[in-house]
Amino acid sequence: MDFQQILYAKENHVATITLNRPTKLNAYSEVMVHEIVAALADARDDDQVRAVIITGAGRGFCSGGDISTDFQYPARYRGHRMESLLEMRENMHQLVTMLRRFDKPTIAAVNGPAVAGGLTLALCCDFRIAAESARVGDTSLKFALIPDEGGAYLFPKYMGLQNALKMSLFSEVYPAAQAKELGLVTEVVPDTDLMPTAQAWAIALAEGPPIAIRLTKRMMYKQQAMDLENALEDAAMATLVSNYCEDVKEGTAAFHEKRKPHFKGR
């Protein structure tokens, strides 16, 4: 695929998407969003891909939407009474929805500032590994903008309502260690260890049983909105797939033979 604003690579069953607008701290544009969606679609449909890493080129992870020039809606929306709704729905909201529905494990390797929509992008991933020098927060209101990419929903989910209100209304940005304490970051590592750590996590996930991992991920996300009885029924339904996979036989055989299992996703 010929991308302009991202880099996309696949190796060792891991797909890596690198936001590639380093002079803009990887602020997202319509082109970038559509390219990330295309890369994710490829990773989703490629059975050889079992985990995905998202990171940024240069000093930043993602600084949110690009406001470095006078903003104008794309020509196809301009002048429409619903132009802002259409622009959000068909661009960043499409990416957020796709990532949240993505059933293979995803890791955000946060190499630098992840603010506003950039923080939302990171929170859409299952894990956020941050470099010690990274900073995360919400700066939307500094520009009289709002956390419209999904932050108003996701920020309280990860850090609680009071902390989310404080971060957004005071436009706070936190160092990585504090962000971890607040629940926005999964792990903090030295800058030089960021990509090796993210790759090690991704490879470990890729070596696991693919079908069981995908089902477990979807169950955990879906069941947040269920009561216990419905969650148990959802789990029981999932066993109709998981319990009859060849990987279950392989996992059991490996245990008895005292060896590492080789899961094939069958």
- Does 162 map to a domain? yes
Per-residue pLDDT band for 31 (boundaries 50, 70, 90) equals: very high
Does 145 share its domain with 234?
Answer: no
* Percent residues over pLDDT 90 in the chain: 83
Which tens digit of pLDDT belongs to each residue from 110-159?
Answer: 999 999 999 999 999 999 999 999 999 999 999 999 999 999 999 999 99
Does 68 share its domain with 105?
Answer: yes
Per-residue pLDDT band for 69 (boundaries 50, 70, 90) equals: low
Does 37 share its domain with 150?
Answer: yes
Does 156 share its domain with 250?
Answer: no
Cβ(126)–Cβ(187) under 8 Å?
Answer: no
- Mean pLDDT, to the nearest integer, of 52-71? 88
According to the model, what pLDDT value does residue 87 have?
Answer: 76
CA 264 – CA 266 distance, rounded (Å):
6
From residue 143, give the alpha-carbon distance in Å to each of 23, 27, 139. Answer: 20, 15, 8
According to the model, what pLDDT value does residue 238 have?
Answer: 93
According to the model, what pLDDT value does residue 70 have?
Answer: 54
- Does 39 map to a domain? yes
According to the model, what pLDDT value does residue 73 have?
Answer: 57
Task: Say if residue 19's pLDDT is above 90.
Answer: yes
According to the model, what pLDDT value does residue 72 have?
Answer: 55
Does 131 share its domain with 225?
Answer: no
Per-residue pLDDT band for 212 (boundaries 50, 70, 90) equals: very high
Task: Say if residue 16's pLDDT is above 80.
Answer: yes
Task: Say if residue 84's pLDDT is above 80.
Answer: no
Per-residue pLDDT band for 192 (boundaries 50, 70, 90) equals: very high
Does 55 share its domain with 170?
Answer: yes
According to the model, what pLDDT value does residue 83 have?
Answer: 75
Per-residue pLDDT band for 194 (boundaries 50, 70, 90) equals: very high
Task: Say if residue 44's pLDDT is above 70.
Answer: yes
- Does 229 map to a domain? yes
Determine if the pTM surpasses 0.75. yes
Task: Say if residue 208's pLDDT is above 60.
Answer: yes
Structure tokens at 42: 């490829």
- Mean pLDDT, to the nearest integer, of 50-62? 97
- Does 266 map to a domain? no
Does 130 share its domain with 185?
Answer: yes
Does 102 share its domain with 188?
Answer: yes
- Does 262 map to a domain? no
User: How many domains, in total, are found in the chain?
Assistant: 2
Does 92 share its domain with 201?
Answer: yes
According to the model, what pLDDT value does residue 10 have?
Answer: 97
Structure tokens at 122: 């990171």
Does 243 share its domain with 196?
Answer: no
Neighbours of 12 (CB within 10 A): 12
- CATH (domain of 95): 3.90.226.10
Does 32 share its domain with 56?
Answer: yes
Domain that includes residue 237, residue range = 210-256
